[in-house]
Amino acid sequence: MEVNVVNKEKIYNKLPVFLQNMAIHAEGWKINRRRYDGAYNSLLKSAQERTFWTEPQLHKWQEQKLKDFFSSICKNSYWSDQFLKYGIDLVQDSPFEVLSKLPILNKSEVQKNRLSIINPVSEETISRHTSGTTGGGLVFPETHYSEQLQWAIWWRYRNWNNIDKHTWCTYLGGRSIVPIQQDITPYWRVNKPARQVMYSLYHLSEKTARQYLDDIQRRRLPWIHGYPSYISLLANYVIDSQRIGQFDFVQSITTGAENLLDTQISIIEKAFGVKPKQHYGLAEGVANISMCPEGRLHVDEDFSLVEFDPIEGLEGAHRIIGTNWNNTAFPLLRYDTNDVAILTPNQSCACGRAGRIVARIDGRQEDYLVLPNGVKIGRLDHIFKDMINIKEARIVQNSVTNARVEIVKREGYRDEDEKMLLREFVSRVGGDIHLEFAYLDQLPRTKSGKLKFVESNIK
């Protein structure tokens, strides 16, 4: 499997640009079909109809969803053992009582019991991969239904903010679509089925920014979507090159994958004249939080059961815990996402949505790695995607030519893993930074208990 992916990438990287565009087109078409065929439209429609549901309506819905979910869990599994261990009676106990009797489930527990958590289902499943905030990868099955429903919830949020599936998008996301060795324009590829012009994050620098901005200006696409750290990097170049006002065709900006920082919001708004919108979601499907047109973050209460667990000593800060009732192939009950939400006492919103309001998502704050040529690279946790023999990892950069990756190994870690990691690192970062490996028993945390994924000690 791994070999196939590497080979596919090798072949792709050697193709001329027009064939790379064709390969992206084919892949985009395939993904579109999987996400949006069959029941998708009716899933979106019914999700839209739930937008203004009241609290009692949502409560009843949650109760029923949880009940069905628990009864789909097979005997002789991790969960049936847990039910026994904690004295749970699925007939007598209400679904909310069931949850309250269970402990919070952390990621290492899931890793350890992955095989007995997998629940046999009759429908088709896909394999999902997560890198997670702390670099430990998780691979698990997801039902087709669950994947489509997640996309329906994401598109519902975009629809609220005047974006639909026909809206063309300037995409600044994490996939490496331009070979790292390439040092001439174009640093972008077109994914027509998804209506995206995908710009390479890994080539954006002071030297290349002008070419990016010229192309974006030429295409006049109404929507920008991607990692906030890169959209704000681009916004910085707009401001630095005194091009404010030249991008007034941009109507919407949305961010994902990373926490949207306040400083980024103001830089982006200054450069493009649009305030970015954000949402919070994760592959495990245990929680989803979407921004409404009033600019407030509401929990999507009809999507999963979200709990907020207070963090001691941190005013308003809560860990996001969730139960993914949509994915019967891999039940996660009270799963700790490791992400942090700051709650607000002000729980009413002029938009009329009943979902609980979160002031800020505080997790997944990442730093940049800086290359000798000034290119900044973020979201490096992608390097650890699929690395299931690593518990935790982070990157520390002390100079522009040296970085250290600190790893907490899982049993089963081999020399081959280190080689694979180095390959991943070089494919994203290039060969200009020397990478050393350090193996630790645990990784250092900040005062507030957070793991800083990239620790940059460069001024």
**Residue 352 C-beta: closest distance to Zn ion, Å:** 7
Task: For the CB of residue 359, give the shortest distance to Zn ion in the complex, in Å.
Answer: 13
296 near Zn ion, rule: CB under 5 A: yes
Judged by beta carbon, residue 319 or residue 353, the one nearer Zn ion is 353
Residue 444's φ and ψ, nearest 5 degrees, are -65, 145
- Which string of DSSP letters, residue by residue, matches 36-74? HSTTHHHHHHHHHHTTT--HHHHHHHHHHHHHHHHHTSP
What is the spatial distance between Cα 142 and Cα 310, in angstroms, rounded to a whole number?
29
Residue 102 contacts Zn ion per CB under 5 A: no
Q: Which stretch binds Zn ion (CB under 5 A): 212-220, 267-275, 296-304, 314-322?
A: 296-304
The structure tokens 């592959």 sit at: 283
Spatial distance between the Cα atoms of 47 and 53, rounded to a whole number of angstroms: 10
Instruction: Kindly state whether residue 292 participates in binding Zn ion, applying the rule CB under 5 A.
Output: yes
Give yes or no for a cis peptide into 186 (omega within 30° of 0). Answer: yes
Position 351 contacts Zn ion (CB under 5 A): yes
CB of 294 to Zn ion, least distance (A): 4
Q: Which is nearer to Zn ion, 281 or 331 (CB)?
A: 281
Among 81, 294, 432, 436, binds Zn ion (CB under 5 A): 294
Which listed range, 190-198, 225-233, 239-247, 348-356, lies at the site for Zn ion (CB under 5 A)?
A: 348-356
The one segment of 1-9, 137-145, 188-196, 346-354 that binds Zn ion by CB under 5 A: 346-354
Residue 315 identity (one-letter amino acid): E
Which is closer to Zn ion, CB of 32 or CB of 159? 159
The minimum distance between CB 353 and Zn ion, in angstroms, equals: 5
Tokens of 401: 């030519």
Q: What are the distances in angstroms from CA 18 to CA 21, 188, 200, 204, 223?
A: 5, 11, 16, 21, 24
CB of 252 to Zn ion, least distance (A): 17
DSSP 28: H
- CA distances for 256 relative to 111, 158, 244, 412, 448, angstroms: 25, 12, 24, 33, 23
Is 104 in contact with 321 (CB distance < 8 Å)?
Answer: yes
CB of 296 to Zn ion, least distance (A): 4
Q: Does the protein bind Zn ion through residue 282 (CB under 5 A)?
A: no
Cα distances (angstroms) measured from residue 195 to each of 29, 84, 221, 222, 429:
11, 50, 10, 11, 27
8-state DSSP, 53:
-
Per CB under 5 A, does 156 bind Zn ion? no
Choices 152-160, 207-215, 274-282, 345-353 (CB under 5 A): range interacting with Zn ion: 345-353
Tell me the CA distances in angstroms from 35 to 8, 30, 118, 145, 285, one per residue in order.
22, 9, 22, 9, 15
Please tell me whether residue 349 binds Zn ion under the rule CB under 5 A: yes
User: Which residue bears the tokens 């193709």?
Assistant: 15
The distance of closest approach from Cβ of residue 251 to Zn ion in the complex, given in angstroms and rounded to an integer, is: 20
Under rule CB under 5 A, residue 52 binds Zn ion: no
- Cβ-based nearer residue to Zn ion, 1 or 350: 350
Q: Given the complex with Zn ion, which of 352 and 374 has the nearer CB atom?
A: 352
| Residue among 152, 168, 289 at smallest CA distance from 224 | 168
Closer residue to Zn ion, CB minimum distance, 118 or 349? 349
* Closer residue to Zn ion in complex, CB, 159/185: 159
For residue 326, the minimal CB distance to Zn ion (Å) is: 23
- Indicate the residue among 292 and 405 with the shorter CB distance to Zn ion: 292
Instruction: Return the number of the residue (110 or 297) whose C-beta is nearest Zn ion.
Output: 297
**In the beta sheet, which residues pair with residue 320?**
308
Piece in contact with Zn ion (CB under 5 A), picked from 137-145, 263-271, 317-325, 341-349: 341-349
Q: What distance in Å separates the CA atoms of residue 397 and residue 410, rounded to the nearest whole number?
A: 24
> How many residues at the interface with Zn ion, by CB under 5 A?
6
Cβ contacts of 377 within 8 Å, gap of 6 or more: 201, 202, 368, 369, 370, 371, 428, 429
Does 359 sit near Zn ion (CB under 5 A)? no
H/E element holding 338?
strand 335-343
Report CA 293 to chain centroid distance, whole Å.
22
Comparing CA positions, the residue from 174, 205, 177 lying closest to residue 382 is 174
Which listed range, 149-157, 181-189, 193-201, 294-302, lies at the site for Zn ion (CB under 5 A)? 294-302
The piece of 90-98, 287-295, 321-329, 448-456 that touches Zn ion (CB under 5 A) is 287-295
- Pick the stretch among 89-97, 182-190, 194-202, 344-352 that binds Zn ion (CB under 5 A): 344-352
What residues line the site for Zn ion (CB under 5 A)?
Answer: 292, 294, 296, 349, 351, 353
